Structure formats: structure tokens, C-alpha cells
Structure 1
Amino acid sequence: MAEDRGDFANALDLAQFGHMHGAALRLHATAVAYEGRGVLILGASGAGKSSLALDLIAFGAELICDDAILLEADTEGLSLRAPPERLPMIEARGIGLLNAGPLVDQAALALVLYLQDMPQPRLPATRMAMWRGHFARLLGVNARVPQTSAVVHALRHGFAPLA
């Protein structure tokens, strides 16, 4: 679902969210794969990354990793990969550590969700995230407003064409 339109000049540089780990960028983030498409969930500690991942898992996504993810770039684009020390669990704040269920080791990056505790515009402009010259669709998400079904719908059916 990498986009060929959007605001490339003002793309969010994913490098600011992590540090280099060999050839990969190691991010404090959570990632799932939905029908083979990778979803990277960014946000501050306590923003709701794991909660949103659990919601997506309830819709059929599979966990790549909770709290740490490796972002890699190659000629095909960006991909998400679990670090070698991944544990098969996910945190449910206030409940405890849960078995993750089905895991997947990697997926091509399709969508970046950036959790922010601020109102989001009703119809936001198309935004992009980038790393090493590759781009993916970026959505600012208010974790306090349930939007999981809209994210799943976008992964299944895509976004409407830009006017």
C-alpha cells in the first residue's frame, strides 16, 4: 500500500524514532501484519501502541513484535522484522502480559500509525512517512478515539482517490 501521492516534501522521517542496528533501524514501536501487510504503530510510552495492536489482532492481524521492531530497506521498499530477542507476548496495560497468539516474523510496510493525544482533522491531508528514500502512508491517530475498524477497512479496501 505504499503511496505514490501525498506530501513527500514534508514526510515524517522514521529515523527520528530509533537508532541503527546493523543495516536496520531499531524502533521503540509495535508492529502487526494484516493480511500480509505490515502496520507500524508509533507513539510515546503509554500512548496505546499495544492496545491498538491488540484491537487489530482481534480483527485478524498477527503480531510481529510488541515494543521493538526492526525497519529494513531494500530495492522493493520498507519491511518490518521482529528482532531476534522477540518474546511471544504482548502487554495489556492494567491486565498484564498476554500470549501473543499467532506471530509472523516480517511483513512489507503498508501503513504507519502515529498515536498522538490530540484532536485529528475530520478529513486529514495525505501524509507520508519515509526512510532511506522509501515512503508509506502515515495516519495520525488519536488513541483515545476508537478507529481500529477504520484502519482495518483501509487495509482491506484502500483509501479513496485524492480529489
Structure 2
Amino acid sequence: MTGEPPVHASTVAIRRRGEWAGVAILGPSGAGKSDLALRLIGRGWRLVSDDYTRMWASDGALYATAPERIAGRIEARGVGIVSVATRPVARVLLAVALLPEAVERLPEPEFRRFAGVETPVLALDPRPASAVEMVAAALERV
């Protein structure tokens, strides 16, 4: 792992096809990163990191973990800091960029480079109830 600063992202993972697949949820403070992560956790996903994520590349793959001081906890706005089921490390296969408005119906594919690894990006308005299903569907496509 390099000494690069953490990425402003909450990261969650789900077991699929025998491996843990991670999704980094990107956005500024108040964009809904933790809220979307909590909804995914409610559907069986595991928290890797809330709000800040350490990322590094290994053998061409992107991995994520929590900075030690925040590991295992997530902020539930209006409730406080809570402990949830976690995954200490996950391979990140998708990034979700949170937007405050509806997104284009059929956008061109987007990518962002993290630790030198080109990663697909899903632009998403996190407010609709279907946001959880959109993340799961997008992950199935990578």
C-alpha cells in the first residue's frame, strides 16, 4: 500500500461469484455516501470504509480498506456513529459518483483512475429508492 492520501469515498462490498466485490461511493460531504452505504448494508453488503477510503493497486487490481481510526464504523446521520458488519479489504470493481440531480438515461461509459487503475464509474442520484438496485445492476455489468 502506498502513502497516498485516502479518497473521499465510502466503500462497501458484497460476495458474488465466490469473491468480495467492492464499490466506492464518491461525493462531497452531505452527498449521501453513508446513507447509500447503509441502504446497501441493509441488503447484505458489508462496510469496508465510511467517508474516507485507502486505495492501492496490486497486480493491476484496485483494493480498498478503511483508515484504522474509522474502521468498522459508519455515520448514521441523525443517529450517530454505529458499528456494522464489515469487510476489512475488498477489490474495488466500480465507483459510484453521487450527483444531486437525475442522471442521463443512457450515458456514455465513464472511468476514473485510482492508484493507477482505470475504474468504471456510475453517475447516480442516490435519493430514489431504486439507487440500491442501480448499484447492484451496474456491478453485475463489470
Paired AA for residue 112 in structure 1: A
> Which AA in structure 2 matches 1:23?
G
Q: Say how many residue pairs are matched.
A: 137
Question: Higher Cα Rg: structure 1 or 2?
Answer: 1
Q: Is the 8 A contact 1:59 1:152 kept in 2?
A: no
**Which ranges of structure 2 fall in alignment gaps of 5 or more residues?**
none
**What does 1:59-98 correspond to in 2, within 5 Å?**
59-98=43-82
Distance in structure 2 (CA, Å) of the matches to 1:153 and 1:131: 22
Relative contact order, CA 8 A, sep 6+: which one is greater?
1
For 1:71 and 1:34, how far apart are their aligned partners in 2? Answer: 17
Alpha-carbon shift at residue 95 of structure 1 (Å): 2.4
How far apart, in 2, do the equivalents of 1:154 and 1:136 lie?
Answer: 12
Match of 2:112 in 1: 129
Report the TM-score, using the length of structure 2 for normalisation. Answer: 0.86
Which residue is 1:152 aligned to? 136
Residue equivalent to 1:32: 12
SS of 1:27's equivalent? coil
Q: Which runs of 5+ in 1 are unaligned?
A: 1-20
Q: Distance in 2 between matches of 1:22 and 1:76?
A: 14
Letter in 1 for 2:13: A
Bigger drift between 85-94 and 32-41 goes to 85-94
Q: 1:76 to 1:22 in 2, by over 3 A?
A: closer
Cα shift at 1:28: 2.1
Percent of aligned pairs with the same amino acid: 34
CA distance in 2, matches of 1:142, 1:149: 12
Q: Cα RMSD over matched residues?
A: 1.8
Deviations 1:101-122 (A, max 9, x none): x211111111101111122001
Q: What is the Cα deviation at residue 22 of structure 1?
A: 4.4
